[in-house]
Amino acid sequence: MADKTQEKVGKLMHEKEYIRNIAIAAHIDHGKTTLSDNLLAGAGMMSEELAGKQLAMDFHDDESERGITIDSANVSMVHDYDGEDYLINLIDTPGHVDFGGDVTRAMRAVDGCIILVCASEGVMPQTETVVRQAIKENVKPILFINKVDRLIREVKLTPQEMQKKFEGIINEVNDLIQQLAPKEFKEKWLVSVKDGSVAFGSAFHNWALNIPFMQKNDINFQEIIDDYSQGEKYKELAKKAPLHRVVLNMVTKHLPNPKVSQKYRIPKIWHGDPESEMGNSLSECDEDGDPAFVAVKIVIDPHAGEVAAGRLFSGNLKKGEEVWLNMAKKKTKIQQLFLYKGSKKVQMDEVVAGNIVGLGGLPDINAGETVSKEKITPFEEIKHMFDPVVTKSIEAKRAADLPKLVDILRKISKEDPSIQIEINEETGENLISGMGELHLEIIENRIKTEKGLDVKTSPPVVVYRETAKKDSGEVKERSPNSHNIFTINVEPLEDEVYEAIHESELPEGRIKKKDKEINEKLRELGVDRDEIKQYKDIYKGNVFLDKTRGEVYMQEVIDLILDSFEQVCDQGPLAKEPCMKIKASITDVKLHEDAIHRGPAQVYPPIRDALHRCIKAGDGCLYEPVQIHRVEAPLENMSDLTGLITSKRGELLNVEQEETAIIEAKIPVAEMIGWSNDLRSATEGRGVSSLKDQKFERLPNDMQEEVIQQLREGKGLSENE
């Protein structure tokens, strides 16, 4: 960042009205990183000749080799709009669904989002997912229709046909916005050609248009078509209608500044007292208030150590200041502060509210952490839309390298929180769970190439869920010393409550006091008023209720009971798979009056055993992950495609036959190991598959016992474990 630009950035950081925090999000291969390159070039941060080819926002070798963005990347740049300088803090996000966790986390840091759609392919499954991810965080979308040059040169559409194509894309995006946006924004956030919140162009050829630009510069779409028909004249379009100018003007005009956005975003993502000093400071984006920073990405830099990129929502931070990590529950010191210039970081002495910044030298920080001066209510947990569904065991080839592998895995779990890692330092075998085969393949490859460690992995296996199908009835268990008796009951959780947890409408966590927001939401969902008061814990799609009455010592053991409940939710009784949709209640308890006789050793075993017995008594069963895919292939491959889906226990949900065959199908993840190769073989390499949705459904009855047995054997579990 040139000194002059750095000086401008330092000044603009304080001027909230002139800041725009934005992300670019799209389906894979729709051109996000090429667009980012051109925006950087327009801001004078890279050569215009290299824009779209350098992939300046892809830092890892595997990103360049595969031609996809795997990690989100940040950059701050200055844009002149109507004679005023604006600070644009941009995050480029991945398009492949396996790396969607980065998109979810990026949305926490921004206020607006450029939804990018390929003009030729239109709205694809991952487009729907990123719109959903943006709106879930109250992030306002605008639309850029990319690769218009393909419609002109390859498909050779007339202007009327193109207009029809654009209208179709805009209507689809608006349908999604209307369906997903909060009531007050359903109409306000709709994108429109007329008001200029829709632009179209070619990121590869570096031009773009929208109505305000066309009117101001007296240019029409026919001129674009004419330029493409005259040899290489289209190259002049980058000067006639520069992409960075049109897109960043659209960003500046239509996306909110942090002072505006935090008024409606804070109540959605922070559940502290809105009337408190902190609440006011957050909603006003007050740089003189107490600081509150949310880390959205941790990068381990060989020189700067762990650097947490994220959003400072309130207050200011200075180098050397002591801060409090609310999740890690410890104090630490900020060693360095950064602004981002793609792969480079610019050191700052101070950063202020409303900006995307980096904090260096906080060794105990994780993505999602809330950093403040004093203890505050942390920000809502950042939850990815899909859960990890594929697991591999990984071990070092040389026993001497085990400590190094453990250290690397701990770092990876920080850098990519959507990867779940279980470390077993005794056996040396560790488990990594991710969103799909590619996700785990990338992690394995980076351990070998970037971290320089030789590892071996097992074939991928699927992550299942355990649950109870019916009410278990009451189960009593005594503590090992026989002085305490606990009565537990388990039943299936109501679908409405489960969905509300899954959609983050019901925040997870232990309920310490009357929580107005949770109470109101449960009432909305039809939960009985008395039962609402009994809610004590919402954990990974399961809930725990305290139905006991008048037990004097209950408050002293409730946390131990909830610890045991959460342990069972993490490892169920059937095959030590995570639990889902469990509603557990403690209905009666008899506790010894002496605290020494009701410590952890007397509470954990009976609660765990009672819950295990309850789940089994409630017809405990496995749920398997299933994915809904949109598969496209030439019409002549239709029968091969349907045959392939059927052979994988798949279910055809929708079939369209136009120029190509488009099939929507539901397929169990267990059958999708090696899916890419199978699809290539069945369609002679011409089939394309995109993930639309993922859910858990009950494993067929005839497979339950066999799969449970396989899982238990794979984990080396004895009969009594």
Q: What SS3 string covers 108-126?
A: HHCCEEEEEEECCCCCCHH
Provide the 3-class DSSP secondary structure of residue 339.
Answer: strand
Which residue ranges does the chain devote to CATH 3.30.70.870? 390-463
Residue 5 pLDDT level (bands cut at 50, 70, 90): low
Which residue ranges does the chain devote to CATH 3.30.70.240? 623-705
User: According to the model, what pLDDT value does residue 403 have?
Assistant: 86
Provide the 3-class DSSP secondary structure of residue 351.
Answer: strand
423, 406 contact by CB (below 8 A): yes
Whole-number Å distance between alpha carbons of 6 and 478: 67
Question: What is the pTM assigned to this prediction?
Answer: 0.79
Q: What is the DSSP string of 17-82?
A: GGEEEEEEEESTTSSHHHHHHHHHHHTTSS-TTTTTTS-TT--SHHHHHHTS--S-EEEEEEEEET
High-pLDDT (> 90) share of the chain, %? 50
User: According to the model, what pLDDT value does residue 47 have?
Assistant: 37
User: According to the model, what pLDDT value does residue 1 have?
Assistant: 42
Q: Given a cut of 50, is residue 85 above it in pLDDT?
A: yes
Cα atoms in the 13 Å half-sphere on the side-chain side of 461? 18
Tens digits of per-residue pLDDT, 585-637? Answer: 999 999 999 999 999 999 999 999 999 999 999 999 999 999 898 888 888 88
Residue whose entry in the numeric block shows the structure tokens 């560790």: 430
More confident residue, 305 or 611: 611
- Mean pLDDT over 645-664 rounds to 89
Q: DSSP secondary-structure letter at 169?
A: H
Tens digits of per-residue pLDDT, 562-597? Answer: 999 999 999 999 999 999 999 999 999 999 999 999
User: According to the model, what pLDDT value does residue 43 have?
Assistant: 61
Which residues are CB-neighbours of 524 under 8 A, at least 6 positions away? none
User: According to the model, what pLDDT value does residue 650 have?
Assistant: 92
3, 205 contact by CB (below 8 A): no
- Mean pLDDT over 519-546 rounds to 93
Alpha-carbon dihedral 296, 141, 500, 610, rounded to 10 degrees = -20
The dotted CATH code for 623-705 is 3.30.70.240
- Mean pLDDT over 148-152 rounds to 90
User: According to the model, what pLDDT value does residue 364 have?
Assistant: 80
User: According to the model, what pLDDT value does residue 539 have?
Assistant: 94
From residue 128, alpha-carbon distances to 125, 172, 199 in Å are: 5, 9, 19
**Lowest pLDDT segment from 173-187, 362-376, 448-462:** 448-462
Residue 124 pLDDT level (bands cut at 50, 70, 90): confident
- Mean pLDDT over 203-212 rounds to 93
246, 210 contact by CB (below 8 A): yes
266, 230 contact by CB (below 8 A): no
What mean pLDDT value characterizes the chain?
86
More confident residue, 700 or 717: 700
Output phi, psi for 383, to 5 deg.
Answer: -110, 130
- Mean pLDDT over 75-100 rounds to 76
User: According to the model, what pLDDT value does residue 242 have?
Assistant: 93
Which residue ranges does the chain devote to CATH 3.30.230.10? 466-619
390-463 sits in which CATH class?
alpha beta
The domain defined by 3-258 folds into Rossmann fold (3.40.50)
Does the domain at 466-619 match CATH 3.30.450.40? Answer given as no
**Lowest pLDDT segment from 54-68, 242-256, 319-333:** 54-68
From residue 221, alpha-carbon distances to 99, 155, 216, 281, 683 in Å are: 36, 16, 14, 47, 38
Tens digits of per-residue pLDDT, 15-53? Answer: 999 999 999 888 777 787 788 878 877 665 543 444 444
Which residue ranges does the chain devote to CATH 3.40.50.300? 3-258
Cα atoms in the 13 Å half-sphere on the side-chain side of 129? 28
Provide the 3-class DSSP secondary structure of residue 521.
Answer: helix
**Lowest pLDDT segment from 396-400, 520-524, 587-591:** 396-400
Does the domain at 266-372 match CATH 3.40.50.300? Answer given as no
- Mean pLDDT over 68-82 rounds to 67
High-pLDDT (> 70) share of the chain, %? 92
**Lowest pLDDT segment from 252-256, 501-505, 632-636:** 501-505
